[in-house]
Amino acid sequence: MKSEFYQKIYSSISRAIKEDLESYTSQRQLVTQNSRNFLKWDLINTNIKEILNSSNFEAEIVKMGSWRFLLILDKENNTLISLMNTKRYETICSNKVVNAPLYLRALVGLNQQLGVFSPLLFDFQDEDSQFSDLLHELCRPFYNKKYDLCGTNYKIITFTTNQFDEVIGLNLLTLDVNLDLLSKENLFDYLIPEYQNNIEQSSDIDIQQPKLKITKKAEQRIGEKSTLSLKNTEEISSKQA
């Protein structure tokens, strides 16, 4: 079941950022692509939401300000999971106090029972009520469906892509309340690689036929044949005269 779930996540991301994105944008050529990264996330979330039809998982769209993202409940292992690009995760880790989004600080609160890697970075006593309310709001779609999240942990699936928009890294991270890394699992150990179809756009103008080139020797032979043919014609004409 674990391998099947991770394969679905991998397939959803791979298809979204390559085949689905190219298919979507090929409908019309845009002079700018400012929304490309946001569109990738919309396609990823849609793919996962559509493909997770197992009774062991529940995928819900939650809201933080104007940003909507996916939370996945692994009911068998009592775990909430979200997705994040590896570059974004590394940016957060570079300065957690400044860069850590509020929703992430609220969700890692579920891991308090796992302990901490280092002394507390954040002052949770002053912010406990704020994060508690936010966590309840984020989990509201699951509470509305009568899911008991007592004892639930929180994990992040991070993915890495190369310049060709291919997924080359997929990891499952467990963080403590300081956003320090407690464990990291390489999900490629459970996956079968997939290769997406590329949609290439071309027109009749773009398709150039190969041009045949004649060497100098060939040109000389053609000239010699033309001269010989003309000489033979003149001889035949003189004899007939």
SS3 assignment, position 44: helix
Interacting residues of 170 by C-beta distance below 8 A, sequence separation 6+: 6, 9, 10, 13, 157, 158, 159, 160, 186, 187, 188, 191
Which pLDDT tens digit goes with each residue over 156-182?
A: 999 999 999 999 999 999 999 999 999
pLDDT in tens, the chain (241 residues): 689 999 999 999 999 999 999 998 888 888 888 889 999 999 999 999 999 877 799 999 999 988 999 999 999 999 999 999 999 999 999 999 899 999 999 999 999 888 777 666 555 555 667 888 999 999 999 999 989 899 999 999 999 999 999 999 999 999 999 999 999 999 999 998 877 665 554 444 443 444 444 455 555 555 555 555 555 555 555 544 4
Cβ contact 157:86 at 8 Å: no
Measured CA to CA, the distance from residue 42 to residue 173 in angstroms comes to 22
β-strand 79-85 against 153-161: which pairing, if any? parallel
Entry pTM: 0.78
- Other CB atoms within 10 A of residue 135 CB: 20
Please, which residues bridge with residue 11 across strands? none
How many other C-beta atoms can be found within 10 angstroms of the C-beta atom of residue 189?
9
